[in-house]
Structure 1
Amino acid sequence: MTGLSFGGLSGILVLVAYAAAMLLIGYFAGRGQPSGEHKTARGYYLGGSGLGFVALFFTLYATQYSGNSIVGYAPEAYRSGFLWWQSVPFMIAVIAGYLLFAPRLYAIAKRESFVTPTDWVRYRFRSTPVSLLVAALMLWGLANYLLEQLIAMGHGISGLTGNTVPYQVGVIAFVVVMLVYSWAGGMRAVALTDVMQGIALLVGVAVLLIGALYLSGGGLGELTRHLADTDPVKAGVPSGEDSVNWLSMIIMIGIGAAVYPHAIQRIYAARSERTLKRSLAIMAWMPLVTTGVVFVVGIVGIKLFPGLSEDDSEQLVGLIANEVAGINLFFYVLMILLFGGVVAAIVSTADSALLSLSSVVSRDLYGRHIAPQASERKQVLVGKVVGVVAVAILLLVAWNPPSTLFNIFVLKFELIVQIAPAFILGLYWRRLSAGPVFWGMLAGALLAGAWTVFDVDKLHGIPAGLLGLALNVVICVVGSLLTTPTARTPDTQPHPAQPARS
């Protein structure tokens, strides 16, 4: 994000205010928990499974709409034109993906006291190889996701402060803030900061759109005519390959984002099934008021800043915010406050990924395989320390981002989507067996990873991750039909007499 006219001291003060608010929320979230609860795995990673409607909705919202939703999606709309409208239906598809399995999974998770996403896999398939492979794919996706947020965080901070605070310094400062409040309050602190940051994100993109439309001097109709006259390819009917890619991305992201590890843990953290369903019902409308708005901002940018290169277009949100801030004092003040909120929202997505990464390491690797006798308190401590180390390593990568934000965003789906059959098919199909699930995930991940690493062209617009998923499902289905079921059959009926397992 480029330097803004409202940068400098005012931007720094706003960021300091947001940082202070996050630290206070983390402090009081930690103090507000029953004695010792935040030192248990369930208390620290799931907030005691007691998130109410408001907290659950906003933490789901902050999880789905990351820094990439603002900093990365508008430039993609600028480069692709109306083809990028696909960002709206694929975010709607994520909610459809949740509804495929979330209520059913919640019933089992509540009864069995699941903490990490891998707890379901272990319960369902009773297979160490399957559990370890799922954990490895989750850690890859979470590290990639966290890297994406660190890069977006740096762009946002340097842009808001007019480069007064350099990219690297800004990232380090807010990473420290994030680590402190998440360490102090765990999931409860993360969820409460998500409420603040989610509101800031919603209001921020609305103000950005209003200012951008004012600057462009017209509505969507005028923008479409301008685009048709100056760059008809971006306003035209997509090619057959682009249409296939559009549909493929909707399917892959709809499924992949729904099985994010930190999204699954929010399912576990809901206070009740009714709370979960109410939150998802409201989430179904959020693509229109978030990705839809950001899409329009990107289209406005084509008129306001024609001819930007790919690298320069990555700065589009900062360029538009700069112009909006210059309209009058009203927009000047709002852009300072609300763009600081966008930076805070980026932090909120990073803390969710970090918390989930910490839980997988502490519970599924350390607690299960390295030190099975370790107390929950020690497991949580190990998870916190590993989280700090992981962030330090990712910061080194973030200094020189390897690709555009959008390409980083897509890359994580190639592998994380491969865990979907274990969750969705595993919940509904009793015959699904551990062996085929393992080999299906492995084959799908290897195909998708090799296709991406060796930069092979897409097959008629179909992304590598979806090809891998197709191979994965075929192996799961055919293999399970040819073998005798050995895994636990899914059962969502409550059994009050059965003791819960941690």
Structure 2
Amino acid sequence: MSDLIFAGMDGIIILSVFAIVMLVIGYLSGRGEKNLHHSLSGYYLAGKNLGFIALFFTLYATQYSGNTIVGYAPSAYRTGFSWLQSVSFMTIIIGVYLLFAPRLYVVSKRQNFVTPTDWLQFRFKSKAVTLLSIFLMLWGLGNYLLEQLVAIGQAASGMTGGTIPYQIAVIVFVVVMLVYEWLGGMKAVAFTDVMQGVILMIGIIVFLIGGLYLVGGSFADVTHYINELEPVKTAVPSAEVSINWFSMLLLVGFGASIYPHAVQRIYSAQSEKTLKKSFSRMAWMPPITTGLVFLVGLIGIMLFPGLDTSGSEQLVGLMANEIAAINPFYYWVMIIFFGGIVAAIVSTADSVLLSFSSLLSNDVYGKFINPNATEHKKVMVGKVGGIVAVILLLWLAWNPPGTLYEIFVLKFELLVQVFPAFVLGLYWKRLNGRAVFWGMLIGAILAGILTFTGYKTIYGIHGGVIGLALNFVICVGGSLLTPSVKQSRKQEEDLASLDIDVKA
């Protein structure tokens, strides 16, 4: 992030205020909640009692973070109009949610699920499927958490003009996150999401208005400028770019919708009506969030022409300086907005960490190490395990392995392989655990080999999508070619009743 004119003491004050507010929210969320730390559902799912406002904003924070602003605007700057794909792949996530979320909610409520793999264990009764899905989900969460830790340090250090070094910034905000999450669990996470979501929405709008003011108030002038000086950025994308766009839609749409922390938001809803209402409002967020950030990136082409790749990564900071210099109102809005960006990154990290620790406590420890452990002990194991995981990831964060975008793509390549088991299993009773296991394993191996050997895309198609296609073929073909597995009578009744319950 470039040197900000409001970096320094003003930035430190705003970040300190956000940190204090988050700690207060954590304290108030846990105060008086006697069962919070003794119940998996209470700690990890807020007692499955999130109302519309809290659920909407925690879903919003799950899908968007401060990186959406800091990372997507430079991508639009470098790519031009073809980066409109960022709006479409955020939109498809909502469509995929609606494909399975109401149906999953019904069975999760009946079976009292806590983690995503609770569904897979219930559906397939296979230790192999459960273990493999746990590994792939932990892989995805670990990569995502690492991405957020790196971003926290960069954003906080940039906002304070380097007064707070990168490493210190990471440690301070990680400690804040661990404290309020320890105190209030999912409830604290959801309420901090409300605060940060509101600030991000308002800040993005003001940022765009300020950017348009700087270029004369007309986006038509921006389009004309880009078309005259950099026509490649307004040209029709090549076939490979278009294929890559479609591949990204599949990778992100299927991968992000089964993020463990996203699935747990589904479990946390107060009711199915609340869940559907939240998703219906979420459908408007891609154009309001990524759509506006896309426009910001295009305005940046006119404001700061000729930036190279590393220079374009500083675009949001460069524009913020220009906007903050307009008048005192914009100055303070930019300070609060950038503080909100840091807080939003922390908010995304806390959601990921909470889900990561739930998988450790409920799935790894509770299902395979100590099945007879009390829920209180499982919660404590998850808390401690989460702290250990953060320490290990912090060690990696000192020397980030690759750009944020590379880390972003990497986590989807393997996580998306869980999708066929997760969603196809909701609709197709014939799908069996053996086919699911081999499809997931072979798809993950293929995606991993392609990714780590440098073949991230082949003719524009991501390695994860190629692995996913093979995964689907094995799941469907294997299930059709093998004898139907007899399920328990109770499981047959539960699956058969889903259609009735969802329609009702």
TM-score, normalised to structure 2's length? 0.96
CA contact (8 A) 2:30 2:36 kept: no
Which segments of 5 or more consecutive residues in structure 2 lack a partner in the other structure? 500-504
CA contact (8 A) 1:71 1:152 kept: no
Q: What amino acid is the match of 1:442?
A: L
- Deviation at residue 70 of structure 1 after TM alignment: 1.2
Runs of 4+ residues over 4 Å off in structure 1 = 487-490
Name the CA distance, whole Å, in 2 between partners of 1:355 and 1:456. 33
Name the CA distance, whole Å, in 2 between partners of 1:400 and 1:323. 31
Name the CA distance, whole Å, in 2 between partners of 1:63 and 1:292. 17
Alignment of 1:15-94 (within 5 A): 15-33=15-33, 35-94=34-93
Name the CA distance, whole Å, in 1 between partners of 2:398 and 2:312. 19
Name the CA distance, whole Å, in 2 between partners of 1:230 and 1:200. 35
Alignment of 1:329-478 (within 5 A): 329-456=328-455, 458-478=457-477
CA contact (8 A) 2:36 2:184 kept: no
- Corresponding residue for residue 123 of structure 1: 122
Name the CA distance, whole Å, in 2 between partners of 1:174 and 1:318. 21
Cα deviation per residue 1:375-400 (whole Å; 9 max; x = unaligned)? 11111111111111111111122222
Name the CA distance, whole Å, in 2 between partners of 1:457 and 1:359. 31
Name the CA distance, whole Å, in 1 between partners of 2:347 and 2:38. 21
CA contact (8 A) 1:74 1:295 kept: yes
CA contact (8 A) 1:3 1:158 kept: no
Alignment of 1:42-441 (within 5 A): 42-441=41-440
Name the CA distance, whole Å, in 2 between partners of 1:199 and 1:278. 18
CA contact (8 A) 2:37 2:376 kept: no
Cα deviation per residue 1:85-121 (whole Å; 9 max; x = unaligned)? 1000100000001011000000000000000000000
Q: What amino acid is the match of 2:126?
A: S
Name the CA distance, whole Å, in 1 between partners of 2:32 and 2:316. 38
Name the CA distance, whole Å, in 2 between partners of 1:3 and 1:39. 46
- Deviation at residue 494 of structure 1 after TM alignment: 7.3
- Deviation at residue 372 of structure 1 after TM alignment: 1.6
Name the CA distance, whole Å, in 2 between partners of 1:425 and 1:457. 26
Look up the SS of the partner of 1:24 in the other structure.
helix
Look up the SS of the partner of 2:458 in the other structure.
coil
- Corresponding residue for residue 502 of structure 2: none
Name the CA distance, whole Å, in 1 between partners of 2:210 and 2:496. 49
Q: What amino acid is the match of 1:12?
A: I
CA contact (8 A) 1:93 1:250 kept: yes
Name the CA distance, whole Å, in 2 between partners of 1:201 and 1:342. 7
Name the CA distance, whole Å, in 2 between partners of 1:399 and 1:83. 34
CA contact (8 A) 2:14 2:336 kept: yes
CA contact (8 A) 2:37 2:379 kept: no
- Deviation at residue 67 of structure 1 after TM alignment: 2.5
CA contact (8 A) 1:212 1:297 kept: yes
Name the CA distance, whole Å, in 1 between partners of 2:277 and 2:37. 27
TM-score, normalised to structure 1's length? 0.96
Cα deviation per residue 1:256-315 (whole Å; 9 max; x = unaligned)? 111100000000000000000000000000000100011111111112222222222222
- Corresponding residue for residue 482 of structure 2: 483
Cα deviation per residue 1:324-361 (whole Å; 9 max; x = unaligned)? 11111110011111211111111111000000000001
CA contact (8 A) 1:101 1:423 kept: no
Q: What amino acid is the match of 2:495?
A: D
CA contact (8 A) 1:104 1:492 kept: no
Name the CA distance, whole Å, in 2 between partners of 1:241 and 1:81. 16
Name the CA distance, whole Å, in 1 between partners of 2:200 and 2:496. 36
Look up the SS of the partner of 1:73 in the other structure.
helix
- Deviation at residue 135 of structure 1 after TM alignment: 0.4
Look up the SS of the partner of 2:164 in the other structure.
coil
CA RMSD of aligned residues (A): 1.4
Cα deviation per residue 1:34-76 (whole Å; 9 max; x = unaligned)? x223321110000000000000000000000023211111111
- Corresponding residue for residue 498 of structure 1: none
- Deviation at residue 155 of structure 1 after TM alignment: 1.8
Name the CA distance, whole Å, in 2 between partners of 1:457 and 1:448. 9
- Corresponding residue for residue 500 of structure 1: none
- Deviation at residue 492 of structure 1 after TM alignment: 6.4
Taking every aligned residue pair, what percent have the same amino acid on both sides? 61
Name the CA distance, whole Å, in 1 between partners of 2:295 and 2:160. 25
Name the CA distance, whole Å, in 2 between partners of 1:219 and 1:391. 46
Q: What amino acid is the match of 1:452?
A: T
